[in-house]
Amino acid sequence: MSSYPTPNRLLTPDAPADVALSMRGVMKRFGAVQAVNGLDLDVPTGACYGLLGPNGAGKSTAMRILTGQAIADAGRIEVLGYELPAQSKLARARMGVVPQDSNLDIDLCVRDVLYVFARLYRVPAGSRSEAVQRALALSGLAARADDRAVTLSGGMQRRLLIARALIHEPELVLLDEPTVGLDPQVRQELWSLIVSLRERGATVLMSTHYIEEAERLADRVAIVSAGRVVAEGTPAELIAAHAGREVVEVTGSAAELAQLRASADAAGLPTRQSGPALTYLHADRYDGEVPAGARRGASLEDVFVSLTGDYVE
């Protein structure tokens, strides 16, 4: 990889100096669907950054734009100092991508899958077997190295996808919905794997629609809705700004809740609908005005639902 030119720092003029990637006013349309609609994003170097949004919010399209597999209609994109799409290949050489759906060569054995990707990522000949061993150890798949990928469980296949993306020790790792469809034990295993990535100094950009995942792993979170960022900050900042310290949940029939909501709206009380309950946000700020109900600490979920609304794909 030494043959690649060094990146031009700061192609995006107003991006902070220590960003691993930045997107400015990025637009992408598929036919009638505006999948990405003016997306602005700055991911600080070394951070674990969560892209949190409902299904269909444009997270996966944003990820594909970052790998050059979708070309933005407008906007500026810089990844590791390279401008996209022109310098996408240079950026890809230094990043690892874990897709949402498995795209493994499932008939190959685990070791061969990793070896092939060591070649694709241009790991020098002398370090390839070492890289494969390291990836096997990291993903806990050393015992299955000679088994065909198709024989692995869903969780192991996901670990192999991650190991494959790490074979060249990338500076930036993109994880698109890393734990979707996995059981809780496997999910927690993957979380430790993601945490260990960060500890190695890699920048992680992870898209997810699981709030808990963002809350546990991400230093910073951007909440994405309808193709753009609607709020950004640390989980604590987001909760303080959009849901307050405490919330009150009031349960009732649909008619009662509709009535409560109408009067809350009239009184200027921020609420969000949460299934069979109405949640009053910033309950600490509006003491006395909020009806009686279950009081609890505000969570990122309150922020997420109140910002992304009743939007359903």
Partner 1 sequence: MTGDRVLRPGRIEPEALAAVWVREWTVFRYYWRTRTFAAVVEPVIMLVAFGIGFGRLVSHVAGIPYIQFVGTGAVATAVLFSAVFSAMFDSLYKRRYQRVYDAMLSTPVDVDELVTGEILFLGTRAGLYGVAPLLVAFCFGLPPQPAMVLVPFVGVLTGIGFAGLGMLFSAMATTFDDLSYVISGVITPLFLVAGTFFPLSRLPDWLRTFAVLNPLYHCVELVRHCAFGLHPGADLVHVAVLVAFAVVVWRLAVWRTRTRLVD
The residues binding partner 1 (CB under 8 A) are 28, 30, 61, 64, 67-71, 85-86, 88-90, 92-93, 97, 99, 101, 103-108, 112, 115-117, 119-122, 164
Q: Is 201 left (phi over 0), alpha (psi -120 to 50) or beta?
A: left
Query: Minimum Å distance from CB 68 to partner 1?
Result: 7
Measured at the CA of 160, the angle between CA 155 and CA 166, to 5 degrees, comes to 130
Cβ proximity to partner 1, 164 vs 282, nearer residue:
164
Long-range contact pairs involving 115-121 (C-beta distance under 8 Å, separation at least 24): 117/164, 117/165, 117/167, 118/167, 118/168, 121/93, 121/167, 121/168
Q: For residues 89 and 49, what is the distance between their CA atoms, to the nearest angstrom? A: 23
How many Å from the N-terminal Cα to the C-terminal Cα in the chain?
41
Cβ proximity to partner 1, 160 vs 281, nearer residue:
160
Query: Minimum Å distance from CB 184 to partner 1?
Result: 27
Residue 157 tokens, joined: 């296949």
Query: Minimum Å distance from CB 84 to partner 1?
Result: 10
Q: For residues 113 and 48, what is the distance between their CA atoms, to the nearest angstrom? A: 27
Query: Minimum Å distance from CB 65 to partner 1?
Result: 9
Query: Minimum Å distance from CB 86 to partner 1?
Result: 5
Cβ proximity to partner 1, 92 vs 187, nearer residue:
92
Query: Minimum Å distance from CB 180 to partner 1?
Result: 16
Q: Which amino acid is at 239?
A: I
Cβ proximity to partner 1, 101 vs 289, nearer residue:
101
Cβ proximity to partner 1, 33 vs 294, nearer residue:
33
Q: For residues 108 and 33, what is the distance between their CA atoms, to the nearest angstrom? A: 37
Cβ proximity to partner 1, 150 vs 241, nearer residue:
150
